[in-house]
Amino acid sequence: MQVRTHYLKLFHRMNYIFRESILLIYRLIKNKSINPLGLLQIGCYLCLAISHKV
């Protein structure tokens, strides 16, 4: 039961990080304050952030 609870918490945390990141990237592109080609670097940082939260 504890393992299931742990994975549910992990899933909710990753879901929150992903949702907030998508909204931030969308706002930056909409305001033209970021180059869409720079998204690769942001993606790498997101992967690192998620892996360290695990």
pLDDT in tens, the chain (54 residues): 576 777 778 778 888 878 887 887 778 777 777 676 677 777 777 777 777 754
Residue recorded with tokens 């992967």: 47
Whole-number Å distance between alpha carbons of 28 and 24: 6
Range(s) of the domain holding residue 16: 2-53
pLDDT, residue 47, reads 74
The token duo for 38 is: 């720079």
- Specify the pLDDT at position 4: 74
Going by the DSSP 8-state scheme, the letter that residue 54 receives in this structure is -
pLDDT of residue 1: 54
Q: Domains in the chain: how many in total?
A: 1
